Chain A
Amino acid sequence: GAGVSQTPSNKVTEKGKYVELRCDPISGHTALYWYRQSLGQGPEFLIYFQGTGAADDSGLPNDRFFAVRPEGSVSTLKIQRTERGDSAVYLCASSPDGLNYGYTFGSGTRLTVV
């Protein structure tokens, strides 16, 4: 596609539930990133994929968070046992390779845990 697509755009879930957030990067982009943006804050890094593998997952806050990119294109961010503190906008970005830091961001998924 022409840009980075994230679905759903909004997600409301109950505390304790499991959620999946999807990112469809720009075609041909090998690098994919997930960030989390809380209200009034700048985006915070979660995880970086180069191809199918997670090259850097140091930003994942705990083991309830997991992400995959099985075919090197679409990625899914998975959150288990959601907590109210997980409420945020989850942003996905892609770039042609890991060396081009000018990522293209998607519009994000707004997650609300009630």
Chain B
Amino acid sequence: AQSVTQPDIHITVSEGASLELRCNYSYGATPYLFWYVQSPGQGLQLLLKYFSGDTLVQGIKGFEAEFKRSQSSFNLRKPSVHWSDAAEYFCAVVYSNSGYALNFGKGTSLLVTP
């Protein structure tokens, strides 16, 4: 079955430190990959997406992600975290041969300390 794994349920980083959130997807057809952020009481906001081409993708709010096919990974990074980045982060995948339903991971909760 298609699946997305986010190994870290919770991550705590200090403000100004770098951040990497991990995401692994199950092997299958060509994956289309996404990262969403969800703040309390808010809807999901798209940070970035990868369809094809350059494997390093730039998104909003200073986030980037790198697609590594050999590792089935699509990790999210940010060089310097701000307190406002505290939220829940979801990785999602849809495969080129499986329609349009996004398959989400369980999420990683980010806490930012002063």
Contact = CB atoms under 8 A, between A and B. Distances in A.
Contacts of A59: 101
Contacts of A45: 101-103
Contacts of A3: 43
Majority-rule SS of B interface residues: strand
Interface residues of B, number: 24
Interface residues on A, range: 20 to 34
Majority-rule SS of A interface residues: loop
A45 B94 CA distance: 11
A105 B45 contact: yes
Contacts of A103: 46, 102
Interface of B: 4, 32, 34, 36, 41-46, 49, 51, 90, 92, 94, 99-107
Interface of A: 3-4, 31, 33, 35, 40-45, 48, 55-56, 58-59, 91, 93, 98, 101-108
Nearest first, the 7 A-B pairs at minimum CB distance are A42-B104, A45-B101, A105-B43, A105-B44, A107-B43, A102-B46, A43-B104
